[in-house]
């Protein structure tokens, strides 16, 4: 499985809930997470990696900056993690980062 397959699955599952999985780009700021998820008046970021993939040092530093503002950032690398995240979202739960985190 490749990263784009996991990312496309995330988009599909979030959309099925009625949420949005916005592609997040920030010109001049490398290392930002792949997606900004909005659902039920909540927002958080998701960095998608291929199974076994690891975030680069710049991604780790950028995630730390985002978290310092109080935003949640998750690292997802499997379809099973996407299912778990969207099931929690459906239940109204936004989990702690450590639940999925590898950053």
Q: What is the pLDDT of residue 99?
A: 63
Q: What are the structural domains, with CATH classification, of the chain?
A: 3-99 (3.40.1350.10)
Of 68, 58, 70, give the one whose Cα is nearest residue 103. Answer: 58
**HSE of 2 in the Cβ direction (CA atoms, 13 Å)?**
1
Indicate whether 102 pLDDT > 80. Answer: no
Q: What is the mean pLDDT of the chain?
A: 91
Q: Give the pLDDT confidence of 29-47 residue by residue, as tens digits.
A: 999 999 999 999 999 999 9
Q: What is the pLDDT of residue 93?
A: 81
The count of residues in the chain is: 103
Q: Confidence class of residue 94 from pLDDT cuts 50, 70 and 90?
A: confident
Question: Average pLDDT for residues 66-86, to the nearest whole number?
Answer: 93
């Amino acid at each position: 499985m490749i990263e784009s397959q996991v990312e496309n699955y995330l988009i599909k599952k979030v959309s099925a809930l009625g949420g949005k999985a916005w592609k997040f780009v920030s010109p001049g700021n490398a290392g930002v997470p792949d997606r900004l998820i909005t659902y039920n008046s909540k927002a958080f970021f998701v960095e998608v990696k291929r199974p076994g993939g690891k975030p680069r040092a710049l991604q780790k530093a950028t995630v730390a900056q985002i978290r310092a503002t109080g935003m949640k950032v998750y690292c997802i690398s499997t379809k099973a993690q996407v299912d778990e995240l969207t099931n929690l979202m459906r239940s109204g739960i936004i989990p702690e980062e450590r639940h999925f985190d590898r950053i």
